[in-house]
Structure 1
């Protein structure tokens, strides 16, 4: 019998690609160490992006980072920010507090770095928001991939994407005709449960829904097979794309029809490629327009991605693109020399903004989270939306 070399998993391939990309970006950084508060160098400005390449977040981070890179490369081709070229510095972390602190320390005293933009995924973004609220950063934090609905936002953080609560509310509206009174919550891992259950439980209370949680312990197929007729028909899935594909394979032969609501960290196109079961409808929310929309910002994204990267459009890379474009739009309005202080003042002034059809408008809680769309994977394997 011939020896068979195991094929690397998608996550292994993404992790290798991510490590190479982030290492290259870090190696390309031009040190400009000096005292904080001074204006950016006349040669250009640094925009730092903290990226989580841990196993649980690399699917999200890879696509989001591609979108951001495409935007910044296109921006530089069009003259940069007020004539200054942008050095987009992607800082790799493994998601741990120690690695996040190391990444932030690398830019803390660099005066050319005037903004943190598009931190991703949610665990890392949440850590940076907490540090900013504690006064530990002193730098604007623009357009993080912040899914946590519960975090208090300070006056240096500008989240432009709808969080978990808005996404869940939007998705469940389409199922309201079922007389929804109970919701199951599937957490892909114990870590997902620890990080997100309190937030999901609060949302369920706000929506007057009885919540029945299920915690994954490693075998999501087995978890799916253990569901009983008393399990709610609508299941909220909190986890990544590979885990959801595995879970659907576990519930595919159950007699009762289930509906799965997945959030913005899930890529339905990838799910189909991974052999997800197709007997269960999956609704996935995204806090960005549909990638096939005719909105100007989406058309610009598709054109830029096709020109600069050999990658298919995805909601997550569109989000990364929008994060970078929002950062660029605001920095173009800075009064005087570019610095952290002048950049922060520009972000704090800009309360409402329409970016080619993507609306940004901050509320009293300093969030802009009203824009949600959704796609659906039907039982016959089609993607709608």
Structure 2
């Protein structure tokens, strides 16, 4: 199995290592040189030196390049990142979940693998596998290994409840993830089990985190602050520090993908934070999202006008850029807004809030008192 990946990424060429944050920007002529190498050829001196400089524990001197290097081919599609919901099913029933009803449905394994092939052909180097809870999917490990074999740098977004399982740990041991992002729903059993609406969820989370830390997985924590656990925000942050895991705190919930506002009641009003000004987005142009049925959208939020990879194949992606441009237009109540230049959410997210009949303050400057203006 490869230890390094040489790949085009948008307008650049990179040398990256699964499980490692660092990487090397390759001049195009050096990428083309390794691309032309026979797999049986010994690593050029410049490559061996570059690898050792970047990753001191990896010495490829005098080794055939085919033993350690996977070279990704150029793509004419121009995509570099994607996210993929392998399923919508989950072993939790979190009150705040934007997916709403969680149903274990999706494609057979052959179609999943074909969709991953199309993502790789489209140029996707960084792939986020999410759900639902991805690790409960019967095809998770086969799909993960396939994506790894295609030369993708994989992030797995998980609740961590199954990270103690040996078959999952073995998969990650043999095919290193770029990152494992774990959601944290409390700092005590009472709050954690209440938010997830599953007795024993805290115990599984702790068991999974202990195993993941022993395995030295590249962890990042998403600290989720809601009405049920808001009093434990600092305790959650402190636990991340004790575990030596970097973290990011999330307080603002979004409506469900179906436009339902019921999950917004889980928010802690005292902890809501002002979003930063929306600066534009590459959704649909260099990034896309794929749902469990192989339907491609510009992102997880903007799911209108989806493209079916199983039915249309990669050629369907040719329409994605124009779909993105259309969905980002300020319409449906936002047309002509004098404040749109400093809006804090994109148009697809604003649409979700509008459909959920959420208070304006949740997403729009017109609902916020600022400098005497409401």
TM-score by length of 1: 0.28
**Higher relative contact order, structure no. (Cα contacts within 8 Å, ≥ 6 residues apart):** 1
